Amino acid sequence: MELVDQDQLSDYARSALSEAVGKGLVHGKTETTFAPQDIATRAEAAVMIKQVLQFLKLIN
């Protein structure tokens, strides 16, 4: 995923984000933005939790 706002990513988070995107656990706000400095909404957090639980095969 090529992000136009990748300069806003913290250095420590780059590799973890790359791995999470590769596993389908997180997605950008749009096709080209991730908005790493935005605060996640309750709905966005719920989606990420669901995707992690599905990845771990704890739910369908």
User: Each residue of 41-57: pLDDT tens digit?
Assistant: 999 999 999 999 999 99
Helix (H) or strand (E) run with residue 53 in it? helix 42-55
Q: Using alpha carbons, select from 42, 53, 45, 52 the residue that is nearest to residue 20.
A: 52
15-34 pLDDT, tens digit each: 999 899 899 899 889 989 99
8 Å CB contact between 54 and 25: no
Cα separation of 10 and 7, whole Å? 8
CA 34 from centroid of its chain's CA atoms = 8
Q: Is 24 helix (H, G, I), strand (E, B) or coil?
A: coil
Confidence (pLDDT) at 2: 80
**Mean pLDDT score, 5-15:** 92
Domain spans, the chain: 6-55
